[in-house]
Amino acid sequence: MLFSSYEFLLFLLIVFTLYYLIPKKWQWKFLLLASYVFYFTAGKTYLLYIGATTVTTYLAAKKIQDRKDSFKASFDAVKQGLTREEKKQKKEAEKKHQFRLMLVCLLFNLGILAVIKYTNFTISNINGILHAFGSEKTLSFVNLVIPMGISFYTFQSMGYLIDVYQGKIKAERSLGKFALFVSFFPQLVQGPISRYSDLAESLYTEHKADYRTITLGLERILWGFFKKLVIADRMLVAVNAIIKDTETYNGAFAFVGMLFYALELYADFTGGIDITIGTAQTLGITVTENFNRPYFSKSIKEYWKRWHITMGTWFTDYIFYPLSICKSMQKLSKFSRKHFGEQIGKRIPVYLASFIVWFTTGIWHGANWNFIAWGIGNFVVIMISQELEPLYYRFHSRFRVQGKTWFKIFQVVRTVLIMSCLRMFDCYRDVPLTFKMFGSMFTKFSVKSLTGVAFLGLGLTVWDYAILLVGALLLFAVSMLGRSGSVREKIAGFAFPVRFLIWYGLFLTVLVFGAYGIGYSASQFIYNQF
């Protein structure tokens, strides 16, 4: 059930109406039912996977919590008669039992994710190795269907389990409530990856129909549809045309395609997140923000603090930090400092942990070498940037450019271009081809090739480009206004006629100028998929 379909809008209307009509004590139970109905429409068998993750994680977390409570009670009763060493031994022994429980659950659920998502990728690489050594034998691919949102709900569940193990939160005693946390339907498709501590209270609380909250949620949904259907799906037409005919569209058009894809991806992803957060808000539920104007970042490091925020914090908290402080890394740190010196030695463990994080981030996005290359590319750029920081500071001090408007603009443009270049791995989905097209921007670049006829050959009309230009300018304007607070909150302070004109105008824009990516043509300009 796509967010941009008639079915989703009808589903949302039914859920919204019943949610506020039923007794408030039943609201979370109704949301659980609605979430499973939503997931059922995506695929009947998908329920087995999300059910397995939900039940195993619930039981493991509950068992860990029970052991924590039981141990605390028994330990408090006898600790006065124990030596410091005996106390330490008892705590360590209990921690090991809890760790084993957590590890078994993690391996089970991550194993499901790995088998479903990466089996055919592994088989493909094995076949490639066999062919390289002259073997004609090949392994057959397995017919596996990847359940919708499996990466998101698996990581969200595993984050919850780790938090229970670390004592950051108490395990949820209600299986139904935990199932709702895992399956809450707005965020199943593409996140955000919520933390239990952030979402639970809002998710289970009884909510009254509040005009202001509902209105703000609907406005956010509408803004998401604008970004998705007016900008992203229209821009996708041109992007597909460029990447499907690389012999024609290289050089300058590879650069154009890179920028087109950056805009398309941003509008598509943030549009979906806007629909997610807006849908939750209409129900009185607060979902974690996932973007913070990333294309206004002045560095790659800042960019990743603003783009897909919940994913970044998840990898940082559950992979990078544990890796950085584990015993193996501590031993590596001592070894590297001893043999390579203090300055270099202290960096090696950090860089290794960062490499593992970015490799994992890349393959998490998809079972393909282009995603791995994209992840490693980010690692290389970030590490180089960190190593050059002393030079940056000297440059800033010498020429006194820090804080100057023109230099801020330069930093933003630099960040956008670097990230857009890295996104070419995602755009072309082929590592050698990506390098080829990137090289063509320097060897075959010709401004003369950027003619009106050539642009019209991408499947878009002059009218389409005008709409995209206005849409991009509107995105920029809203982002600029958003620096000082919520734009929707600001609009809410306007007189009713002004508010009506803004939101009704946006609604008509989506209705009239919505486009549909694959298969779209200028003759199908009317927004007819709702």
Question: What confidence score (pLDDT) does residue 516 get?
Answer: 55
CA distance linking residue 127 with residue 140, whole number of Å: 9
What do you get for the CA distance between the two ends of the chain, in Å?
A: 12
Sequence-ordered list of residues with C-beta below 8 angstroms from that of 141, at least 6 positions apart, any chain: 120, 123, 124
Give residue-wise pLDDT tens across range 256-277: 999 999 999 999 999 999 999 9
* pLDDT 10s digits, 402-434: 888 888 899 999 999 999 999 999 999 999 999
Give yes or no for a contact between 419 and 221, defined as CB atoms under 8 angstroms apart: no
| CB neighbour list of residue 471: distance below 8 Å, 6 or more residues apart | 226, 227, 230, 231, 267
Q: What is the pLDDT of residue 377?
A: 94
Element (H, E) at 463: helix 462-481
Q: Return the pLDDT at 452.
A: 87
* CA nearest neighbour of 262 among 142, 146, 425: 425
Residue bearing the bigger pLDDT, 54 or 86: 54
Please give the single-letter amino acid code of residue 465. Answer: Y
Write down the pLDDT at residue 530: 27
Residues 30-75: tens digit of each pLDDT? 999 999 999 998 888 889 999 999 999 999 999 999 999 998 888 8
Mean pLDDT of the chain: 89
Q: How confident is the model at residue 521 (pLDDT cuts 50, 70, 90)?
A: very low
- pLDDT band of 524, cuts 50, 70, 90: very low
Question: What are the residues whose beta carbons fall under 8 Å from the beta carbon of 430, sequence distance 6 or more?
Answer: 370
Tell which residue, 192, 216, 221, has the closest CA to residue 288. Answer: 192
368 HSE (CA, 13 A, CB side): 13
Q: What is the pLDDT of residue 85?
A: 86
Q: What's the burial of 469, exposed, middle or buried (CB within 10 Å: 0-12/13-18/19+)?
A: exposed
- For 232, which DSSP code? I
Return the pLDDT at 224. 93
pLDDT at residue number 527: 28
What local confidence, expressed as pLDDT, does residue 400 receive? 83
- Write down the pLDDT at residue 347: 85
284: left (phi over 0), alpha (psi -120 to 50) or beta: left
In the predicted structure, residue 518 carries a pLDDT above the cut 60 = no
Q: Which residue pairs from 466-473 have beta carbons closer than 8 angstroms and sit at least 24 positions apart in sequence?
A: 467/230, 467/234, 467/513, 468/231, 468/234, 468/235, 468/263, 471/226, 471/227, 471/230, 471/231, 471/267, 472/231, 472/263
- Would you list the DSSP string of 120-160? HHHHHHHHHHHHHTT----PPPP---PPTTHHHHHHHHHHH
CA distance 379 to 244: 28
Helices and strands: H and E segment counts in the chain: 25, 0
What pTM does this model have? 0.90
- 67-103 burial code (b ≥16 CB/10 A, e <16): ebeebeeeeeeeeeeeeeeeeeebeeebeeebeebbe
Contacts of residue 468, defined as CB under 8 A and 6 or more positions apart, other chains included, come to 231, 234, 235, 263, 460
Contact 282, 15 (CB under 8 A): no
Q: In sequence order, which residues have a C-beta less than 8 Å from that of residue 253 and are 6 or more positions away?
A: 242, 449, 450, 454
Give yes or no for a contact between 217 and 209, defined as CB atoms under 8 angstroms apart.
no
pLDDT in tens, 447-504: 888 888 889 899 899 999 999 999 999 999 999 988 888 899 899 888 989 999 999 9
Give yes or no for a contact between 203 and 426, defined as CB atoms under 8 angstroms apart. no
Assign 79 a pLDDT band (cuts: 50, 70, 90): confident
Which of 5-9, 28-32, 73-77 has the largest mean confidence? 28-32
Express each pLDDT in 151-207 by its tens digit.
999 999 999 999 999 999 999 999 999 999 999 999 888 889 999 999 999 999 999
Average confidence (pLDDT) over 348-365 = 91
Q: Which of 425, 387, 421, 419 is nearest to 307 (CA)?
A: 419
- Measured distance CA(315)–CA(155) in Å, rounded: 10
Q: Which residues contact 274 (CB under 8 A, 6 or more apart)?
A: 220, 221, 223, 224, 227
